[in-house]
């Protein structure tokens, strides 16, 4: 068995209907594939219907599951209402909302136009708010219980990070929403959780966060104590557990899946990793002499 094997029993999500925003590519696609393999019906949604339909067709034939593509710009509340109606009509009551859609790019903050900043806030924070409000209000109105929302955030939601400030601000807001509603809406039978992934290579993220020569200059694996980036199945395993009934007691939690990356950046003396073994002997002698 290896860490990239599929973790849950085959029927772990049977009977569940799941909506994955941004499900046409990258991590959303990987999670969708595993949800289908575990017996769920999945609706994938984003702006680009052609891309979504190609993914839905590919994953349906690969898994034999039912994958429904529906276009929706999560920035627009009316489009989210319409997307929700279409999914309920096609697949029946929804059990899980996975807020995965995002927009991001690197830039010195002083170079950002007001519209550039707003664009990221609108996709990440407002988009998550729009979906959460539409789905949550419906669940409350229809008294549907045992439902949950999983939000994909980042570790800089709690550390902050330069050069991706609109994303950091937005993901921090999503984290606050996760924790707030985990308490407020538990009485309606809803759970809210989040995953903060470390580096998981995807075309969407790599093109925008490590463009051109940066990908050679900054190898993300070098920042991870475990010495590697994540594999999509590792994230899919965790997400499937969290949205399934096995995760029924998990509420308000953020699980970091990053091989220790953010802690390495945070620990004040972790840079001493760079000191070779032989030098430690010399340093020890110097310190003991001082005593």
241 is catalytic: no
Segment interacting with ligand NAP, rule: CB under 6 A, options 9-17, 40-48, 158-166, 240-248:
40-48
Residue 247 or 259 having the CB closest to ligand NAP: 259
Q: Are 102 and 123 in contact (CB under 8 A)?
A: yes
Closest approach of ligand NAP to the CB of residue 170, in Å: 9
Tokens at residue 95, please? Answer: 């059990």
Where b means 16+ CB within 10 Å and e means fewer, 41-64 reads: bbbbbbbeeebbbebbeebbeebe
Which of ligand NAP, ligand HXC, none lies near 75, with the C-beta cut-off 5 to 8 A by kind? ligand NAP
Question: Residues 59-98 vs ligand HXC: string with x where CB under 6 A?
Answer: ----------------------------------------
Among 17, 32, 33, 46, binds ligand NAP (CB under 6 A): 46
Residue closest to ligand HXC (Cβ): 103
Tell me if 103 contacts ligand HXC by CB under 6 A: yes
Q: Which of 6, 8, 39, 51 binds ligand NAP (CB under 6 A)?
A: 51
Contact 165, 116 (CB under 8 A): no
| Those residues with Cβ within 8 angstroms of residue 236's Cβ, 6 or more apart along the chain or in another chain | 30, 31, 33, 34, 35
- What are the CA-CA distances from residue 20 to residues 98, 109, 123, 138, 284 (Å)? 5, 30, 14, 17, 54
Full DSSP string of 215-230: HHH--GGGGSTTSSPP
Residues between 126 and 185 that touch ligand NAP (CB under 6 A): 127, 152, 154
- Could you say which of 24, 65, 136, 259 contacts ligand NAP (CB under 6 A)? 24
Could you say which of ligand NAP, ligand HXC, none residue 116 binds, taking C-beta under 5 to 8 angstroms by partner kind? ligand HXC
Residues 185-244 that bind ligand HXC (CB under 6 A): 199, 204-205, 208-209
Q: Tokens 């010195």 appear where?
A: 108
Phi-psi region of 172 (alpha: psi -120 to 50; beta: other; left: phi over 0): alpha
d(CA 227, CA 135): 39
- The residues near 173 (Cβ < 8 Å, ≥ 6 apart) are 124, 125
> Considering the rule CB under 6 A, would residue 281 count as an interface residue with ligand HXC?
no
Tell me how far apart the alpha carbons of residues 6 and 10 are, in angstroms, rounded to a whole number: 9
Q: Among residues 266 and 279, whose Cβ is nearest to ligand NAP?
A: 266
CB 96 within 8 A of CB 90: no
Of 171, 147, 146, whose CA–CA distance to 159 is shortest? 171
Stretch that binds ligand HXC, among 85-93, 104-112, 132-140, 243-251 (CB under 6 A): 104-112
CB 235, min distance to ligand NAP, A? 8
The CB-of-145 to ligand NAP minimum distance in angstroms stands at 27
Residues that bind ligand NAP (CB under 6 A): 21-22, 24-28, 46-48, 51, 73-75, 100-103, 123, 127, 152, 154, 197, 199-200, 202, 204-205
Q: Which residues bind ligand HXC (CB under 6 A)?
A: 102-105, 107, 113, 115-116, 119, 154, 167, 199, 204-205, 208-209
Catalytic residues: 156
């Amino acid at each position: 068995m290896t860490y990239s094997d599929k973790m849950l029993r085959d029927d772990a999500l049977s009977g569940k209907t799941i909506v994955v925003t941004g499900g046409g590519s990258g991590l959303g696609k990987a999670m969708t594939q595993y949800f289908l393999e575990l017996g769920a019906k999945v609706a994938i949604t984003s702006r680009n219907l052609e891309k979504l339909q190609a993914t839905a067709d590919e994953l349906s034939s690969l898994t034999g599951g039912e994958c429904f593509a529906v276009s929706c710009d999560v920035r627009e509340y009316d489009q989210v209402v319409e997307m929700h109606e279409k999914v309920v009509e096609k697949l029946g009551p929804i059990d899980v909302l996975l807020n995965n859609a995002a927009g991001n790019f690197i830039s010195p903050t002083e170079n950002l136009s007001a519209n550039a900043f707003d664009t990221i806030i609108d996709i990440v924070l407002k988009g998550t708010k729009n979906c959460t409000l539409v789905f949550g209000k419906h669940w409350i109105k229809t008294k549907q219980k045992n439902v949950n929302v999983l939000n994909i955030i980042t570790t800089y939601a709690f550390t902050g990070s330069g050069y991706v400030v609109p994303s950091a601000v937005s993901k921090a807001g999503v984290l606050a929403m996760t924790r707030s509603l985990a308490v407020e809406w538990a009485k309606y039978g809803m759970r809210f959780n989040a995953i903060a992934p470390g580096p998981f290579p995807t075309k969407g993220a790599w093109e925008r966060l490590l463009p051109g020569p940066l990908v050679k200059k900054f190898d993300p694996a070098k920042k991870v104590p475990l010495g590697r980036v994540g594999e999509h199945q590792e994230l899919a395993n965790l997400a499937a557990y969290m949205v399934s009934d096995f995760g029924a007691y998990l509420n308000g939690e953020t699980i970091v899946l990053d091989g220790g990356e953010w802690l390495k950046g945070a620990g004040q003396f972790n840079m001493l990793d760079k000191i070779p073994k032989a030098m430690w002997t010399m340093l020890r002698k110097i310190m003991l002499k001082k005593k």
